[in-house]
Every structure is written in structure tokens, then in C-alpha cells.
Chain A
Amino acid sequence: MNKILLIIQREYITRVLKKSFWISSLLAPILITAIYAIPIWLAMKDKEVKRVEILDLSGLWKKSDLVDKEVEFTFITGKEQDLKMTFAAKGYDAFVSIPEDVLRNPKGVHIYSAKNIGMSLKGSVEKLIQNKVRHELLLKAGISSQIYESTQVDIDSKTFTVSTDGQETSSSSGGAMILAGIMGLVLYVTLLLYGSQVMNGVIEEKSSRIIEVIISSVKPYQLLLGKIIGVGLVGLTQFLLWIVLTIGLTQVTSQWYGGKVKDNLTQIKQVESGKQGILISKSAEESPMSEVTKVLESTNIPMVIAAFLFYFFVGYMLYSSLFAAIGSAVESATEAQQFTFIVMIPIILSFLMAQYTMQDPDSQIAFWASMIPFTSPINMMVRLPYGVPGWQLVLSMSLLVLGFLGCSWVSARIYRVGILMYGKKVTWKELGKWLFYKG
């Protein structure tokens, strides 16, 4: 037992001290923070008020029609040809001219600017002009703007899950999908990543020939188990770093932006949907991040985290033991390629199945995908945010443990023969024979 601890320690420390470990541990949180922070930053950057001169020959606009958070309008009179030369010198960002016959000729509106005009400024100006033009045209046609407003219905359904005892919880299928997708993707990437790390570790020991020295001190299964657990702990450490760093970085970014972040979430939504001005903007609570937050609130977070760690660790042990068996049978990473596909297929397959599972988490396919040990880690984690009956979770976990025991038995038998085999091209038939070799 003590020797297994030594092996775990070595496997863990040599990997955690590698530069690549820290690069990937730092890079992922930075990327996530950037994805979250850059739109906010961009939105905030645009927030400086633009000053615009407006020449209204039609006389339809009043000061009160032209109110916008980001644009300040100044009415001016004169000739378009002269004014377009002077606005920049007076310190305006843009100059807008509206023709007399704007109702018949809406394309006659011109916007002049010194620099290339930003999309949001152009959008704001056009929106304000368009709303007024539309309003006037409706009036001419005998439809009041109140009637028009009342027809602009925005369907936004609220979803609830109803349990058999009639309890309702407000749920968000969009948020569940995001959470499920993230967990499925992380499992998919880490199973492949750490599984192949175990395989490369085995190949390294075999090709450097240190293996014979090690197994004259410890049993092969001790070395195998120590390596798998050690690398698995590296994986858990990385998860922990990802979580802590992401939370930390986003907190720091939020602090940096101060209390404005909440306002800006609203604005992002506005920019995205283009619903500005007189249309009612969606509240901050309905942004994608808050959808996830809502799911997190309605699901049992400790249970999801525990299940995630369970499915990662046991699923990883299952796959990495198979990767280790392959590593033991070959002498180089290139030689391993002909065998790795057979282990990678179920991982890739379960990721593909997860796409269906996400869309229909209670279908037959989703059920079986979350029960079969090879596909269950990813698929069960994808189903979990949508709610899974307890018995299914227990059954799936038990089957996964059984699957792991079976795979590790097969792997350990191939491993103990494979690590001492040199100079032999290994075939599938050969691997089969190794299963039945005596001690």
C-alpha cells in the first residue's frame, strides 16, 4: 500500500510540475473569462456619448423624439453641403441630414462622419428615424401607434417541471442545455486527455526500460493503479484550478467593471437582439448566464458536483486502464495508434450520443446511453441537469463500477504480459492470448 502511495506521489508531482500543466490550467480560465468579459468591455467602450448634428428639413422631429443613452442630438439649420464640411471641426462625431420628403423617400437620409461610423451609432440613429417615420406613416393610414405597439408581442414562455406529487419548479431548458453541454464537453476532453496521458506514461516506462526495475520492486498492478490514480488526481487538481481561477478571474473582472456590469448585461442583450428604443428590453435576469444560474438554483448543486466527480473519476479509471493496456502492448506512440481508435470510438460515440441526449433527455436512446458503462459518464452528466430519477442514477453508477472492474481485470492481464514483451509486433489475437497467460 505504501508503495502505491509512492507511485501516486511520483506520477502526480512530475506532472504537476510540468509547464504544460500550468499553461492549460491558466489558459482555460482566462479564455472563459475573456468570453464573458469581452462583450461587456465592448459594450462599455461604446458607452461614451456620441454627439451628432441633425439637419431636419422635414420638420417632423422634435427634441423629445431623439432621446438615446448613447447619442446626443443637436438640431441645426443650414445647407447640407456646408454643414457636412464643418461638423467635425465643431467637435461632433457625425452629421445627419433628413430630406424634406423623408416619408416618401426614406433612403434620402444621409449620415456623415469623419471616421468610419460605428455599427451601434448607425443602428441607434436609423432606429430613431425609422420609428418616427413608421409612426407618421401609420398615422397617415389611420392606425394609431398604440394599436401598432400592442401588436408587437414577444413570446417568452416560462418552463416548469412538474413532479409526480404535483410540485412545480421553474426550470429553464435553455440553461439546462448549456450546463449539460459544458459538463459533457469537459468530460469528453478530459477522458481523452488523461486517458492518453496514462498510455504515454506506460509507453515511456516500457520504452525506457525502467519498467523491469520497477516491477522487481512492486507488483505490476500496483504500478498500474498508482499511475492511474496519480494521473487522475492531476485531472482533479486541474478541475479545481479551473473552477477556482475562473471564479476568481470573473470576480476580479466584475470588480474592475464595478457595479455597471448588471446594467451592461441588459445592454448586451439589447445589442444582440437589436431591440432598442421604444421596445421593452429584456431584463438582466434573462441573459444566458442567468439561465445557467437559474438551473443551478433549481438543481441540487452538491449532488451534481458529486456525480460529476464520480463519473469523471470512475469513467476515467475505466478508460485509462484500457489505454494503459494498449500502452503496455506497444513500444512507441506511433505503434499505439492502430489500437487507440478502439478505445477512442466509445468516447467519441458517447459524445455524439450526448447531442441527442441533450435534445431529448428522456428518450430510449438517452436512457440506454446513460446506462451502458462506456457511454454513461458523458450521457448521464448531460441528462442530470434535466433531472434524472434516483434509481436510474444508482443503476448507472453501479453499472459503471462493474464496467470498470471488468475492464481493469482485462487491462491488468494484458498489461502484466505486455510490459515485458519486446521486439514483437502485437496483434489482436496475441492480446487475446495474453488474457489467459498464467502468472
Chain B
Amino acid sequence: MILSIRQVVKMYSEHLALDHIDLEIPRAKIFGLLGPNGAGKTSLIRIINQITAPDAGQIMFNGEPLSPKHVDQIGYLPEERGLYKKMKVGDQLLYLAQLKGMSKSEALSKLKDWFIRLDIKDWWNKPVDDLSKGMQQKTQFIATVVHEPKLLILDEPFSGFDPINANMLKDEILAIKDRGTTILFSTHRMETVEELCDDIALINHSRVVLAGEKVEVQNRYKQNKFKIRYLGNLPAELPGIEILAQNGLSATLKLGVGISSNQAISQLIGHVELLEFQEIIPSFNDIFIQVVNETNAYE
């Protein structure tokens, strides 16, 4: 585990922002931190970045209690981004890299590599003010990763990127992961979760309401629903199988308790010619909405 969060509590005057949070974030994985606005994601991220301190609980970084010496091993891209507008891109990145503990020469050579890789060599002497928003996003991304952190925290990294740059960013994130960096990803965008994340945790009302490996979580929320395509006439009633929807020669079925997919198939092929039989895996969008609604109702 790169990061173990144990029983972390954070109070803001009257408001409980984090209520005994427990999370384990495994090494070299992409970990999705999900949750509606105001759930406590930013509070947790700020605590991991040691911008604020928890009121109770403990955080272990790489097996040691989290301390100021670890800030150089963490890279953080906040949701609200910004740079010094009047400063030149190159000077600014050099400054930010040195603040993360790099020597000037080391920062210079690493930055040059990034400028070549992202094909932005001619930006070095431009003031940030002259860059487009997308260019500023790229600059900021470099600032986040140039010191090769062990843990990379990205808060809504894709917001503001056009599809081409978003794709480039996705590739870079995956490449960074392959080099052994753990990525903690805070987002609302479920399609990126499905595409990129290995593990997820869902926070709602200051609590972790769902956590685990992506595939395992999805399995947990499977509702035994299947989609079929067939030829012939589907009977209106099938024992142990509920027909949820029917549309021409396709239908959505829900299998009753104790009915396996093989049993369902053998029933179906007695009536129709089965062309397709596919389990419906719940989307994270559905899981997200379902869990949030459940916990809200519970409150």
C-alpha cells in the first residue's frame, strides 16, 4: 500500500467534513475517488497533501506516518488550476520543480524532456498569459509530474481539455502508472473511471460508502440482468425468469434467485433461437446514483 488512511476525521467549525475515513490505496494502481460535490473529496485530498491536518486518525505513506518530508514524493493537480500569469513558462516550471525539492540542473533536464515529448519547445520563454487554456493545462500537468512523484493526485484532470489533449493526457497517465506511480483520481466523470481506474472509493456525506476493486464492485452491483437477441417467439411467462423489457427480437431479462445463466439458456433455447446472451454489467454511473440515493435516504 502506498497510502493507508485510517479513521481520519476533519471538522470545519460546525460541519463534519470527514467522518472516520478508512481507505487503502495500493501501489502502482489508478485509484478513483468518487463522490458528489461537497462529499469531502477535496478535504481528504488536502489532508493527504498536508495542506490541512486531520483532527483525528492517521495516514501512512509508504509504510511511514505521513510527514512533511513526503511532500516531495507527491504530485498534486488541483481542480481549480492556476499559474503565475506574468511569469515565463520555463521559469515557472523550474520554480515549481525546485519547490518540490529538485535541483536546478535536474529540473532543467527533466523539463526539457517533457517539452520535447509534448512538442512545446517554443513555449519556454512565453509568459503564461500568452498561452491558451489548453496550453496552460499542459503546462500545469508538467508541473505536477516533473519531479516524478510516487503518488500523483489528480483532481478532475480532464476538465478543460479538448478531446485530443484529453487523449494525450490519458496516455501520459497510463505511461506514468506503468512506471510504478500510484494515481489518485478524483472525478465525477464515470466514463473515465470505467476506462482508467483499477480501484474505486465512493464518498458521500463525509463517509466512504463504497470501496474496492473496480471489477469486484461492479459484480457486487450486478442485478442478474441479461440482454438477449433471438429469432422466434418469446413466451410471455418463463419459470424463474422475469422479462423486464421486450423490443422486437431483443429483450432484457432478470434471473430469479437460484437460476444460473446456463439454466436460463437451456430454458430459452427450448422456445427461441438464441443469437446473443449477455450479462448487463452495471455502469458506474448507475452504481454511483444508486449508492448515493441509498445513503441519502438512509440519512
Residues on A facing B (Cβ under 8 Å): 3, 6-7, 10, 14, 204-205, 208-219, 420, 422, 433, 437-439
Contacts and interface: CB of A to CB of B under 8 A. Distances in A.
A14 B74 CA distance: 27
B71 interface: yes
Nearest to A417: B52
Contacts of B86: 14
Given A216-B49, A216-B51, A217-B100, A208 B68 contact: no
A218 B72 CA distance: 9
B74 A208 contact: no
Contacts of A216: 49-51, 71, 74, 76, 78
B84 interface: yes
Interface of B: 13, 46, 49-53, 55, 68, 71-72, 74, 76, 78, 80-87, 95-96, 98-100, 140, 143-144
B96 A438 contact: no
Contact of A214 (B46, B53, B99): B99
B225 to A, nearest CB: 42
A6 B99 contact: yes
Contacts, number: 65
Contact of A420 (B51, B68, B140): B51
Given A433-B13, A439-B53, A208 B99 contact: no
A53 B38 CA distance: 96
Contact of B95 (A10, A422, A438): A10
A209 B78 contact: yes
B85 A208 contact: yes
B175 to A, nearest CB: 22
27 contacts: A6-B95, A14-B87, A204-B84, A204-B85, A208-B84, A210-B84, A212-B51, A212-B78, A212-B80, A213-B76, A213-B78, A214-B96, A214-B99, A215-B51, A216-B50, A216-B51, A216-B71, A216-B74, A216-B76, A216-B78, A217-B100, A218-B71, A219-B68, A420-B52, A422-B80, A438-B53, A439-B52
Given A6-B95, A433-B13, A438 B81 contact: no
B99 A438 contact: no
Given A10-B95, A204-B84, A213-B143, 18 more contacts: A7-B99, A14-B87, A208-B84, A209-B78, A209-B81, A210-B83, A212-B82, A213-B78, A213-B81, A213-B96, A214-B99, A215-B51, A216-B50, A216-B51, A217-B99, A420-B46, A422-B80, A437-B13
B55 A438 contact: yes
Given A213-B76, A219-B68, A6 B51 contact: no
Nearest to A433: B13
A402 to B, nearest CB: 28
B179 to A, nearest CB: 21
A210 B78 CA distance: 9
Nearest to B147: A217
Contacts of A217: 71-72, 96, 99-100
Nearest to A206: B82
B99 to A, nearest CB: 4
Pairs A-B, 6 closest by C-beta atoms: A209-B82, A439-B53, A208-B82, A217-B99, A216-B49, A216-B76
A216 B152 CA distance: 12
B42 to A, nearest CB: 10
Contacts of A204: 84-85
Contact of B98 (A6, A208, A438): A6
Given A6-B99, A10-B95, A14-B86, A209 B71 contact: no
